[in-house]
């Protein structure tokens, strides 16, 4: 399955049906009077967030969504049928954005499974001639056409909803990390930009669980569009905690630290204000003394907490996960009754 996190679509609510012009015709009844019914209302455009979808890929194939129109009013005072609502199913975390120059105006934000937003109401049906009857006008021929349905081009943008986001340079070991902790099978490679799209996994630790997101590596200038990481920084905007992985066995850990920090700040969106755990990775490859002295240096420079781990061997993970959990509000971390964990199905969170 492919991953797509933005798509432009055209939506149009149904037009209202026209009102009818009709007169009652019956045997022995002269001047039966007007009996043209009203037109039906057009169908609404509704967005609905559904669980289990993790990409907007479907919108690459279907881009036009038109709700049906309302039915015509008819004789014998029958009103036209209402047009059926068109429900557009989107992944949880999808925003509907105005199609303007900036593309920043959020028109709707679907953050919970089952959430529904009536985006456009269908046009009202027109009045039939029966509704114009008065004491002085007993045979009105007036009637209205239905109102047109609203229409627009909008953008859908998916911002994954993860509790914790992984950031780091390419090759820092982010995908290895998520693979170690979750059922996700992210591609791992000894070359930069192995990961091309975000990946989610569910981490279970000490009877609690949270969703972790792996995003492509960041490089200098990423926030302005260098590399591929910038497009995906949006996916960690809603994370509560960031884990910054630094390859401590790499050539210049201090520089690695700084580059990512600068990109988070340049991107904005509150990324640099999020609690961030600094994690020195690939401890199994590094000189432990070097790692310890670098950690000390970072702490002297004001870093809150620095951890040293090996994503490959799992060393140091427990302490790190304890800290992650402590940063998550209790409500986002599911408490599970003891013993229930084993029965969980072992399917990966999502094959993005
Ligand atoms: N020895 C050791 N190697 C590791 C560790 N973590 C990752 N690696 C290796 O480092 C390389 C890069 O790992 P990835 O997990 O693909 O790194 P990434 O941060 O996801 O990289 P991009 O997706 O390119 O941004 C791979 O060859 C991994 O096997 C570790 O803790 N110890
Ligand atoms: Mg990766």
Residue span of the structural domain in which 204 resides: 164-335
Other C-beta atoms within 10 Å of 149: how many?
Answer: 27
Whether residue 49 is predicted with pLDDT greater than 60 in this model: the reply is yes
The stretch 207-234 carries a mean pLDDT of 77
Domain of residue 44, CATH code: 2.70.210.12
The confidence band for 346, taking pLDDT boundaries of 50, 70 and 90, is: very low
Cβ of residue 171 lying under 6 Å from some atom of ligand 1: yes
Residue 224 domain-assigned (yes or no): yes
Residue 128 domain-assigned (yes or no): yes
Q: What is the predicted pLDDT for the residue at 247? A: 94
The stretch 196-207 carries a mean pLDDT of 85
- Average pLDDT value over all residues in the chain: 86
CA of 89 from ligand 2 middle (Å) equals: 29
The angle, 0 to 180 degrees and rounded to 10, between the axes of the packed helices 174-181 and 317-327 is 90
Cβ of residue 179 lying under 6 Å from some atom of ligand 1: no
Cβ of residue 199 lying under 6 Å from some atom of ligand 1: no
Q: What is the predicted pLDDT for the residue at 347? A: 43
Q: Are residues 183 and 121 in the same domain?
A: no
CA of 281 from ligand 2 middle (Å) equals: 14
Residue 302 is given by DSSP the state T
Q: Are residues 53 and 28 in the same domain?
A: yes
pLDDT tens-digit profile of 126-138?
999 999 999 898 8
Whether residue 250 is predicted with pLDDT greater than 80 in this model: the reply is yes
Residue 229 domain-assigned (yes or no): yes
Whether residue 24 is predicted with pLDDT greater than 70 in this model: the reply is yes
Cβ of residue 222 lying under 6 Å from some atom of ligand 1: no
C-alpha of 25 from chain center = 57
Q: Are residues 316 and 186 in the same domain?
A: yes
Beta strands 164-168 and 208-214: pairing type? parallel
The stretch 85-103 carries a mean pLDDT of 93
The stretch 68-80 carries a mean pLDDT of 95
The confidence band for 228, taking pLDDT boundaries of 50, 70 and 90, is: low
User: Does the reported pTM lie above 0.85?
Assistant: no
Q: Are residues 259 and 309 in the same domain?
A: yes
- The ligand with the least distance to the CA atom of 250 is 1
Residue 223 domain-assigned (yes or no): yes
Give the domain-ending residue among 142, 158, 174: 158
DSSP per-residue letters across 52-93? T----THHHH--EEEPPPPPPPBTTTBPPPPPPPEEEEEETT
Q: What is the predicted pLDDT for the residue at 311? A: 93
Q: Are residues 144 and 183 in the same domain?
A: no
Q: What is the predicted pLDDT for the residue at 226? A: 64
CA of 195 from ligand 2 middle (Å) equals: 4
Q: Are residues 326 and 221 in the same domain?
A: yes
**Cβ neighbours for 327, distance < 8 A, ≥ 6 positions apart:** 240, 241, 275, 277
- Rounded CA gap, 56 and 159, in Å? 11
pLDDT tens-digit profile of 289-313?
888 898 898 888 887 789 999 999 9
- Number of structural domains, the chain? 2
Q: Measuring CA to CA, which residue among 182, 161, 178 is closest to residue 236? A: 161
- Measured CA to CA in angstroms, residue 262 lies from 73, 219, 224, 265 at distances of 63, 10, 11, 5
Q: Are residues 237 and 300 in the same domain?
A: yes
Whether residue 147 is predicted with pLDDT greater than 90 in this model: the reply is yes
Q: What is the predicted pLDDT for the residue at 117? A: 96
Q: What is the predicted pLDDT for the residue at 337? A: 43
Answer yes or no: is 311 a known binding residue: yes
- Measured CA to CA in angstroms, residue 167 lies from 21, 144, 227, 307 at distances of 66, 59, 14, 15
The confidence band for 40, taking pLDDT boundaries of 50, 70 and 90, is: very high
Answer yes or no: is 269 a known binding residue: no
Q: Measuring CA to CA, which residue among 52, 322, 276, 286 is closest to residue 166? A: 276
Q: What is the predicted pLDDT for the residue at 304? A: 74
Q: Whose CA is nearest to atom 12 of ligand 1?
A: 171
Query: 23-37, 204-218, 225-239: which has the minimum mean pLDDT?
Result: 225-239
Q: Are residues 284 and 145 in the same domain?
A: no
Q: Which of 172, 173, 307 to mutate to test the pocket of ligand 1 (most atoms within 8 A of CB)?
A: 173
Q: How far apart are the first and last CA of the chain?
A: 6
Cβ of residue 194 lying under 6 Å from some atom of ligand 1: yes
Whether residue 331 is predicted with pLDDT greater than 80 in this model: the reply is no
Cβ of residue 244 lying under 6 Å from some atom of ligand 1: no
Q: Are residues 315 and 200 in the same domain?
A: yes
Give the domain-ending residue among 119, 141, 158: 158
Give the domain-ending residue among 143, 158, 173: 158
The stretch 184-211 carries a mean pLDDT of 84
Q: Are residues 245 and 200 in the same domain?
A: yes
Q: How many residues does the chain have?
A: 352
Residue 351 domain-assigned (yes or no): no
The stretch 148-165 carries a mean pLDDT of 91
Residue 28 domain-assigned (yes or no): yes
- Rounded CA gap, 179 and 66, in Å? 42
The confidence band for 342, taking pLDDT boundaries of 50, 70 and 90, is: very low
Residue 137 domain-assigned (yes or no): yes
Answer yes or no: is 217 a known binding residue: yes
The stretch 134-158 carries a mean pLDDT of 93
Q: Are residues 4 and 153 in the same domain?
A: yes
Cβ of residue 188 lying under 6 Å from some atom of ligand 1: yes
Whether residue 202 is predicted with pLDDT greater than 60 in this model: the reply is yes
User: Which residues, listed in sequence order, are joined to residue 117 by a DSSP beta bridge?
Assistant: 47
Q: Are residues 4 and 125 in the same domain?
A: yes
Q: Is 191 in contact with 171 (CB distance < 8 Å)? A: yes
Residue 343 domain-assigned (yes or no): no
Domain of residue 290, CATH code: 3.40.50.300
């Amino acid at each position: 399955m492919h991953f797509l996190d933005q798509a432009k679509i055209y939506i149009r609510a149904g037009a209202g049906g026209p009102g009818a012009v009709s007169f009652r015709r019956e045997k022995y009844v002269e001047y039966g009077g007007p009996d043209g019914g009203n037109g039906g209302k057009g169908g609404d455009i509704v967005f609905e967030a559904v669980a289990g979808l993790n990409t907007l890929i479907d919108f690459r194939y279907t881009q036009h969504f038109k709700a049906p129109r309302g039915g015509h009013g008819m004789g014998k005072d029958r009103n036209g049928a209402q047009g059926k609502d068109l429900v557009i199913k989107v992944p949880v975390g999808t925003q509907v954005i105005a199609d303007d120059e900036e593309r920043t105006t959020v028109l709707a934000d679907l953050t919970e499974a089952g959430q529904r937003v009536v985006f456009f109401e269908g046009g009202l049906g027109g009045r039939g001639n029966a509704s114009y009857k008065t004491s002085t006008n007993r045979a009105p021929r007036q009637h209205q056409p239905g109102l047109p349905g609203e229409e627009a081009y909008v953008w859908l943008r998916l911002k994954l909803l993860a509790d914790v986001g992984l950031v780091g340079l390419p090759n820092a070991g982010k995908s290895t990390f998520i693979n170690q902790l979750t059922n996700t099978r992210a591609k791992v490679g000894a070359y930069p930009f192995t990961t091309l799209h975000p990946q989610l996994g569910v981490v279970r630790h000490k009877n609690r669980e949270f969703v972790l997101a792996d995003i492509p590596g960041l490089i200098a200038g990423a926030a302005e569009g260098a590399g591929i990481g910038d497009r995906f920084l949006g996916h960690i905007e809603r994370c509560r905690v960031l884990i910054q992985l630094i390859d401590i066995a790499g050539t210049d850990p201090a520089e690695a630290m700084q580059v990512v920090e600068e990109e988070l700040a340049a991107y904005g969106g509150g990324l640099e204000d999020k609690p961030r755990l600094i994690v020195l990775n690939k401890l199994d490859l590094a000189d432990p003394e070097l790692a310890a002295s670098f950690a000390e240096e970072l702490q002297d420079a004001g870093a809150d907490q620095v951890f040293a781990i090996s994503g490959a061997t799992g060393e140091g993970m427990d302490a790190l996960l304890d800290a992650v959990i402590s940063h998550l509000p209790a409500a986002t971390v599911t408490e599970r009754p003891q013993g229930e964990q084993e029965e969980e199905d072992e399917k990966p969170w999502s094959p993005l």
